[in-house]
């Protein structure tokens, strides 16, 4: 049974995690996601679950590495500078095939940047930002309900693939309050974690488990050598790419101009589509729900049909690179970026009116 | 601790501990390396205290980490310096497990200093066995936080100069300073008597964890013949004459 609640995006992270059966949250203070950490601090211990404030984001992610290895559903939340610090061990988690969830509430960069919303970590999130090159499924919610739902999906996908999964949010989504149906979503059965460390006394076969992230130093059974292990990883990434693509199309069927946006700028873009449609302009939206895998095919299809594109993103571009890969030079790709915010300060936002100006110019 | 007197020996009289794989992975070590000796002590302790079935070992990065192929308990190999973070989460999520880290001096005191301080600050109910061989063995004998003044390493070719590289870190004393630490000791395996003492220290450290009291730490001195450029026998001499005076053996806390 769903419980209807009026909650903030940052709180929806917590409710989603709780209803997904999350066992432990490990986090370090950083703006603008402190409400997430505080939610877990007040709600988890009284339910017998683990909340721990780490000594750094490096600590948080390595706590996930341990918690996941012991077979628990674990997560952290951070913002962009903390995301930077976590890269090394996210790579280790991929290599050791440890499922965990990282919620990234993006803020302005580079460096310390700003402490307010932005969408500036797209490349490091979608390309595997740490050493060695790897893939993580990246889920990009655009509403409070979707934060709740995608946090749950993230746990499922992490366990399904034994891989970290990223939930990519931003400061605006975190602060928005909306009505949410809070409930456990059933995504289907998962394999038992018979690989997890529990102490040999608790292993069904009584045999020891060894988890490491150095398949090229000590072979990881059943892979006899480094390259056979890399082949297994490659196959896993390809399976994620084939099976886990998710996106939303909005009035894209007959559109001549298609907006491409994720997160808060997708909400702005939807509003712009409605404004354009009121004036009879054929404008639609394609919203990646998975930033990786990216919906290249549908965008390419639309390019072949003769559509133009306008990327709306609160950064200097970044997302536009994927759209250009998709259209293969067949179509013009415009950009509304962080430089088009309504105020020149860190509090500025991309507004529907500004996007609509660009729509009228392009169509 | 279990009380299954009939099926388990309380003290190993002879032979290998049963969690010690046969043939042992000790062949990965240089001759005269004392790491496998310390591994063996831990194995004996886990077995004699009858806690190996609940044990989860978290490893750092360095020669000590080759233990993962030498024994048959659940083991996690971590990012360099992060074992105590990962161990923290495992113990918090699974308080019934006996959770301990095996780390080198570089892993624990240099790259892992933040995790070390963090775990002690929080008084995590876990145990660390830190091997101190006064240099980075695996990577070819570089300066470590524990390198002695004047000691030549590949990155201090003229010897450690305190004006440039500072002073050796005494980890067991540092650990003892934290309220969250309930036991801290330094041992050595340079003689049968010291072997026995080191084993007693490690046993006590695990007992503190079983009693749920807080963080327990044992530093053990270890020889590294190729990087010290000494024969195994001369390494033992160096430990006695040069290292123990700088790193005295004792129970510092608890
Ligand atoms: S390099 Fe030193 S620590 Fe490493 S195996 Fe050889 S002797 Fe032991």
- pLDDT tens for residues B57-72? 999 999 999 888 889 9
In whole angstroms, what is the distance from residue A179 CA to residue A2 CA?
12
Distances, alpha carbon A184 to alpha carbons A49, A74, A122, A174, A244, in Å: 17, 17, 29, 21, 20
**CA of B131, closest atom in ligand 1:** 3
A286 and A166 in one domain? no
Are A137 and A9 in a shared domain?
yes
Q: Cβ(B17) to ligand 1 under 6 A?
A: no
Any ligand 1 atom below 6 A from CB of B81: no
Among candidate residues A135, A161, A182, the one where a domain is terminated: A182
Identify the domain boundary among A129, A162, A182. Answer: A182
CATH classification at residue A17: 3.40.50.970
**Cβ distance B42 to B56 under 8 Å?**
no
The gap between the terminal CA atoms of chain B, to the nearest Å, is 21
Å from CA of A125 to ligand 1 middle: 39
Q: Is B228 in the pocket of ligand 1 (CB under 6 A)?
A: no
pLDDT value for B69: 85
Q: Is A217 on the interface with B (CB under 8 A)?
A: no
Helices (H), B101-167: 105-106, 113-122, 162-165
pLDDT category at B21 given cuts 50, 70, 90 is confident
Percent of chain A whose pLDDT exceeds 70: 100
Categorize the per-residue pLDDT at B10 as very low, low, confident or very high, splitting at 50, 70 and 90. low
Bridge partners of residue B5, in order along the sequence: none
Provide the pLDDT for residue B28. Answer: 80
- Token readout for A79 is 């913002």
**Can you state the angle between helices A57-69 and B113-122, rounded to 10 degrees?**
80
- A325 pLDDT more than 80: yes
- A108 interface with B at CB cutoff 8 Å: no
Domain membership of residue A350 as a residue range: 247-362
Q: pLDDT value at position B1?
A: 43
pLDDT in tens, B136-173: 999 999 999 999 999 999 999 999 999 999 999 999 99
Start-end of H helices in chain A: 9-19, 34-43, 57-69, 80-96, 122-126, 144-161, 171-175, 226-243, 264-278, 296-304, 319-327, 352-362
Q: Are residues A128 and A20 in the same domain?
A: yes
Cα–Cα distance measured from residue A33 to residue A78, given in angstroms and rounded to the nearest whole number: 6
- For helices A34-43 and A9-19, angle between their N-to-C axes, nearest 10 degrees: 40
Residue B7 has pLDDT above 60, yes or no: no
Domain extents in chain B: 25-253
C-beta B24 within 6 A of ligand 1: no
Indicate the length of chain A as a whole number.
363
* Position A188 in a domain: no
Report CA(B33)–ligand 1 centroid distance (Å): 5
> Do residue A280 and residue A173 come from a single domain?
no
- Backbone phi and psi for residue A247, each to the nearest 5 degrees, phi listed first: -155, 165
CB distance B230 to ligand 1 below 6 Å: no
pLDDT value at B5 more than 60: no
Distances (CA, A) of B233 to A227, A265, B52: 41, 70, 33
pLDDT bin (cut points 50, 70, 90) of residue A361 is: very high
% of chain A at pLDDT higher than 90: 98
User: What is the widest separation between alpha-carbon atoms in chain B?
Assistant: 60
Within this chain, do residues A28 and A169 fall inside the same structural domain, yes or no?
yes
Q: How much of chain A is in helix, strand and coil states, percent to nearest 5?
A: 40, 20, 40
CA distance B194 to chain A (A): 30
**Does residue A181 contact residue A174 with C-beta atoms inside 8 Å?**
no
pLDDT of amino acid A220: 87
Chain B residue closest in CA terms to A195: B74
Strands A177-182 and A3-8: what pairing?
Answer: antiparallel
- What CATH code is carried by the domain that includes residue A267? 3.40.50.920
Q: Which of A182, A212, A232 is the last residue of a domain?
A: A182
Predicted ipTM > 0.95:
yes
Q: Do A152 and A258 have their domain in common?
A: no
Q: Kindly tell me if the per-residue pLDDT of B25 is higher than 80.
A: no
The token pair that represents A312 in the structure block: 């709306």
B85 vs A66: CB contact, 8 Å cut-off? yes
Give me the number of domains chain A comprises: 2
The answer as to CATH 3.40.50.970 being correct for domain B25-253 is yes
Q: Which of A249, A361, A245, A246 is nearest to A308 (CA)?
A: A361
For position B15, what pLDDT does the model report? 80
Say what percent of chain B tops pLDDT 70.
93
Atom from ligand 1 closest to the CA of residue B63: 4
Is residue A291 a part of any domain in this protein?
Answer: yes
> Are residues B97 and A70, on separate chains, in Cβ contact within 8 Å?
yes
Q: Which of A63, A207, A208 sits opposite B86 (nearest CB)?
A: A63
> Based on the domain organization, do A100 and A13 belong to the same domain?
yes
Domain assignment present for A321 = yes
Q: Are A39 and A10 in contact (CB under 8 A)?
A: yes
pLDDT tens across A83-137, in order? 999 999 999 999 999 999 999 999 999 999 999 999 999 999 999 999 999 999 9
Residue A213 in tokens: 């992230």
Task: Say whether A162 sits in a helix, a strand or coil.
Answer: coil
Residues A163 and A252 in one domain: no
Q: What confidence tens digit (pLDDT) does each residue in A279-313 have?
A: 999 999 999 999 999 999 999 999 999 999 999 99
CB of A169 closer than 8 Å to CB of A104: yes
Q: Report chain A's mean pLDDT, rounded to a whole number.
A: 97
Q: Is residue A284 within a helix (H) or strand (E), and if so which, with residue range?
A: strand A283-288
Please write the tens of the pLDDT for every residue from B190-235.
999 999 999 999 999 999 999 999 999 999 999 999 999 999 999 9
Cis status, amide bond into A184, omega within 30 of 0 = no
CA dihedral A265, A267, A272, A277 (to 10 degrees): 140
- Count the Cβ atoms, other than its own, within 10 Å of residue A183: 16
Vertex B122, ends B119 and B125: CA angle to 5°?
70
Domain contains A207: no
Given a cut of 60, is residue A63 above it in pLDDT? yes
């Amino acid at each position: 049974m769903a419980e209807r609640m009026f909650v903030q995006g940052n709180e929806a992270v917590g409710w989603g995690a709780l209803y997904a059966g999350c066992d432990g949250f490990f986090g370090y203070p950083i703006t603008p996601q402190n409400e997430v950490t505080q939610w877990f601090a007040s709600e988890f211990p009284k339910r017998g679950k683990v909340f721990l404030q780490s000594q750094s984001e490096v600590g948080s992610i390595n706590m996930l590495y341990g918690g996941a290895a012991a077979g628990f559903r674990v997560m952290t939340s951070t913002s962009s500078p903390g995301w930077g610090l976590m890269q090394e061990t996210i790579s280790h988690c991929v290599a050791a095939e440890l499922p965990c969830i990282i919620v990234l509430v993006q803020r302005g960069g580079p460096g310390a940047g700003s402490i307010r919303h932005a969408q500036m970590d797209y490349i490091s999130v979608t390309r595997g930002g740490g050493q060695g090159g790897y893939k993580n499924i990246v889920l990009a919610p655009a509403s409070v309900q979707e934060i709740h739902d995608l946090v749950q999906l993230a746990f499922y996908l992490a366990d399904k693939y034994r891989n970290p999964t990223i939930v990519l949010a931003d400061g605006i989504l975190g602060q928005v309050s909306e009505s949410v149906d809070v409930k456990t979503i059933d995504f289907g059965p998962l394999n038992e974690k018979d690989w997890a460390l529990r102490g040999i006394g608790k292993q069904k076969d009584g045999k020891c488990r060894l988890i490491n992230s150095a398949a090229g130093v000590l072979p990881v059974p059943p892979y006899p050598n480094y390259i056979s292990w890399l082949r297994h990883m490659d196959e896993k990434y390809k399976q994620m790419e084939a099976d886990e693509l998710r996106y939303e199309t909005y009035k894209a069927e007959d559109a001549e101009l298609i907006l491409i946006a994720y997160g808060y700028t997708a909400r702005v873009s939807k509003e712009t589509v409605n404004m354009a449609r009121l004036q009879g302009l054929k404008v639609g939206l394609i919203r990646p729900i998975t930033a990786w895998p990216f919906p290249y095919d549908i965008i390419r299809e639309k390019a072949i049909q003769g559509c133009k594109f306008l990327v709306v993103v609160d950064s200097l571009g970044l997302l536009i690179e994927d759209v250009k890969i998709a259209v293969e030079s067949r179509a013009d790709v415009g950009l509304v970026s962080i430089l088009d915010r309504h105020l020149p300060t860190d509090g500025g936002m991309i507004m529907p009116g500004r996007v609509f100006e660009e729509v009228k110019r392009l169509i | 601790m279990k009380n299954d007197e009939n099926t388990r020996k309380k003290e190993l009289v002879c032979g290998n501990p049963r969690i010690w794989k046969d043939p042992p992975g000790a062949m990965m070590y240089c001759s005269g390396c004392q790491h496998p000796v310390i591994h063996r002590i831990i194995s004996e302790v886990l077995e004699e205290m009858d806690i190996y079935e609940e044990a989860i070992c978290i490893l750092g990065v360095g020669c000590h980490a080759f233990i993962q192929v030498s024994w048959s308990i659940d083991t996690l190999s971590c990012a360099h310096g992060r074992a105590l973070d990962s161990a923290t989460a495992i113990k918090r999520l699974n308080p019934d497990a006996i959770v301990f880290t095996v780390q080198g001096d570089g892993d624990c005191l240099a790259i892992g200093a933040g995790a070390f301080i963090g775990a002690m600050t929080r008084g995590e109910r876990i145990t660390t066995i830190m091997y101190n061989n006064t240099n980075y063995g695996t990577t070819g004998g570089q300066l470590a936080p524990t390198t002695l003044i004047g000691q030549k390493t590949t990155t201090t070719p003229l010897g450690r100069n305190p004006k440039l590289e500072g002073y050796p870190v005494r980890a067991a004393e540092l650990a003892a300073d934290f309220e969250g630490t309930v036991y801290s000791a330094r041992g050595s395996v340079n003689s049968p008597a010291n072997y026995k003492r080191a084993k007693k220290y490690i046993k006590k450290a695990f007992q503190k964890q079983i009693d749920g009291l807080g963080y327990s730490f044992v530093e053990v001195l270890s020889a590294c013949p190729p990087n010290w450029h000494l024969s195994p026998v001369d390494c033992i001499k160096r430990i006695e004459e040069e290292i123990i005076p700088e790193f005295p053996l004792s129970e510092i806390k608890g």
